[in-house]
Amino acid sequence: MDVKRGVNRLLDADNADIIELLLKEGCVEPELIIECAKETYNTTDQLWRMNTINLLHENGMINEELSQIILELIMRSKLHIDTCLDTLKKMMDIGAIVPVKHLIKLPYEDFVEQMETRCVKIDVAFEIDAVLRCVSIDKLSWIREHSIEDDAVIPKILVKTRVYMGRNAKFYFDNAKHNSELADKVIMAILYINEFQYECDFGDHIIAEELSNFIVIFFKIHRVTDNEPIKKSLMRILHPNTDISLRADKSQKIANICSGTFEHFCKYATSYCVK
């Protein structure tokens, strides 16, 4: 029991030099080290170095079961995937399979290969998770292209990932602007989450008249100043019939709509007109 505890501590500390010496001197059986490795790597979330793992691999001591344990440890550890990609691929060569929830961490080409080979279904939950994980735009673009959900889901994605706007909002608006109605909903999503710092080139898009009237009053009720990026962006593309002098007190019922659901918000924004 003391020997096993000692080996576990050596593995936990990634002390490959002493483990290698113990193996060479015959002080510890390889089977015990493998048993301890399974136990240690399966119960920790920390992985700072991989000297011991490389040692086990060089000595042919990693079987399919242990390779899966090591791969999952790598995926849940705080190490950047690029720093351990070589070891990760060695584990995959032995037989380890990357769980679907971790595929997004792979480099772009490996990610695409795995997604296509395994025919992974991409739904809105998968895409939202990708945004929350701050994936690169090239991965996000591939996910959007291959999703089972059409572009109508874009506003929902923006609302669900409200603290991850920036480049993602631009990416999603670019995917939505081919459809005027959908583009308006993306704008509503940006307003709904009060992302007043967001600025984007909306191109030739012109906001529908009802929504344009809503936006004018919305900005006044929420006291959005002229120097806020979102106001600068949207005021340029309001419908030409919009009366920018509309007073906020003409329709106080929209003052509290942000406390409702996004669908509730859209209902007022798309049907609003000044009485």
pLDDT per residue, tens digit, the chain (275 aa), is 588 888 888 888 888 999 999 888 888 899 999 999 999 898 888 877 888 999 999 999 999 999 999 999 999 888 788 888 999 999 999 999 999 999 999 999 999 999 999 999 999 999 999 998 888 899 999 999 999 999 999 999 988 887 556 677 788 888 888 889 999 998 998 888 877 777 777 888 999 998 998 898 888 888 888 888 888 889 999 999 988 877 666 555 665 666 678 888 888 887 765 44
**C-alpha span between 129 and 151 (Å, rounded):** 17
Give the predicted TM-score (pTM) of the model: 0.79
**C-alpha span between 156 and 128 (Å, rounded):** 9
CB within 8 Å of 274: residues ≥ 6 apart: 213, 243, 246, 250, 251
Give the count of beta carbons closer than 10 Å to the beta carbon of residue 27.
10
- DSSP H or E segment with residue 212: helix 209-221
Judged by DSSP in three states, 28 sits in coil
Q: Which amino acid is at 248?
A: A
